[in-house]
Amino acid sequence: MNNRNVTLQVIADKAHVSKSLVSRVINNRPVRVSDEKRAQILHIANELDYMPSGEVINVSPMPKLNKTIALILPNLESKFMSTISDTITRKAYENGYSVIVFDSREDNSLEYKYLELCHSLQVSGIIMDSFANANNKNYLKKISEWKIPFLFLDCYPNNSEFSFVTSHNKKGIYSLTESMIKRGHKNILSIIQNKATLTNVSLERLNGYYQVTGEYSLPGYNEIIYPDRDYRQQPIYSLMNSSIEFTAFIIHTGSDVQHFCNLLPLTKYANSTDFEIGVFDDFNMSFVEYISGENQDIYQKIVSLVTQRPQELASTAVDTLIDSIRKGDNFSPAHIFINCDLSYLNLKK
């Protein structure tokens, strides 16, 4: 929301610089300041919707940020995303680049707003983990028109024109599901969250799940969990209370473990001990909570865990983007898949 009460001093205080420096940067006047500090000031002003003389700051011409990479992430709260951000910042610095990090808060409009700001700032290149817009044709068209070196991270579009570095999601979920099959499970329910159904990442995970169940001549079951809706009104609630007896559950996103824990007491599995769980990706949980929290009985049923390699993803992304920056039109789009790791937990069988 636009805020006319935001002053130059407010921005200066947040950036730990003088009010006069903020004024010169925002008004694009000559001043001795590093590209990184200039970008930080402009980022703060944009975040606060600062409006000098009634105009939004990005209406005026923006200074070019030489040797600066923009990183747009859907959130900065998870361990996975914070590792991505830290690794990219360090790796870029080692190669002579500074990094501006934007948190889109899983908001499509804010994500696009940041892209436009990056274009206005003329950053050297952009790395983006898109919330749900990797196949948005308008996004892709704009990015092509801007001709800014660009790379998708942890997601990928159908358009082969764009570079990406992502986990091998299909292979990862295949190995996770197969680990459950080898433990004797035949009825395995795959669970995804509604916001993930729009992405190629989630589709690849589903493809991996159905491929392995098909190869073992087993039935495939997949259902969506909606965290913001009454569980009793969802198809997954009906399925988990049906005559089908599931002995294993595959949770496609680690953050959905908590939603599964909330759903389970409402189903016939509330008092069951005869099931196991496989999870794709790390889930945010302290060790104390894992061994003594209210859901410890459910956590103890997690026997297989597939984890991504955020440091390798981030490092490869920086190397690929910098290669694109240096080669310009001579660079061919790179499509890189990074393997995941399968771990076994709490094995008792």
Greater confidence (116 vs 220) lies with: 220
The CATH code belonging to domain 169-308 is: 3.40.50.2300
What pLDDT digit, counting tens, does each position of 333-347 carry? 999 999 999 999 865
pLDDT of 212 > 70? The answer is: yes
% of the chain residues with pLDDT over 90: 52
Q: What is the DSSP letter of 52?
A: G
C-beta of residue 39 within 8 angstroms of C-beta of residue 72 = no
Comparing C-alpha atoms, which of 252, 64, 73 is closest to residue 152?
73
* Contact of 129 with 157, CB cutoff 8 Å: no
What average pLDDT does this structure show over 297-314?
A: 93
Q: How confident is the model at residue 328 (pLDDT cuts 50, 70, 90)?
A: very high
Taking only the tens place, the pLDDT of each residue in 158-173 is 888 999 999 999 999 9
Q: Which of 58-62, 161-165, 210-214 has the lowest mean pLDDT?
A: 58-62
Could you tell me which residue, 28 or 55, shows the higher pLDDT? Answer: 28
**263: confidence class by pLDDT, cuts 50, 70, 90:** very high
C-beta atoms surrounding 193 within 10 Å: 17
Reported confidence tier of residue 312, pLDDT bands at 50, 70, 90: very high
pLDDT reading at 197 higher than 80 = no
3-class SS of residue 165:
strand
> How much is the mean pLDDT over the chain?
86
Mean pLDDT in residue range 197-214: 90
For residue 331, give the DSSP letter: P
Q: What residue spans define the domains of the chain? A: 1-63, 169-308
- As a dihedral over the C-alpha atoms of residue 118, residue 123, residue 126, residue 128, rounded to 10 degrees, the angle is -30
Considering 64-68, 106-110, 174-178, 258-262, the range whose residues carry the highest mean pLDDT is: 174-178
**pLDDT level of residue 133 (50, 70, 90 thresholds):** low
The DSSP code sequence of 66-106 is: TTEEEEEES-S-SHHHHHHHHHHHHHHHHTT-EEEEEE-TT
pTM above 0.75, yes or no: yes
Give the list of residues 6+ apart from residue 344 with CB closer than 8 angstroms, or none.
Answer: 179, 303, 304, 305
* Homologous superfamily assigned to 1-63: lambda repressor-like DNA-binding domains (1.10.260.40)
Q: What is the DSSP letter of 278?
A: E
SS3 label, residue 307: strand
Alpha carbon distances (Å) from 164 to 9, 153, 184, 280, 297: 40, 6, 37, 21, 39
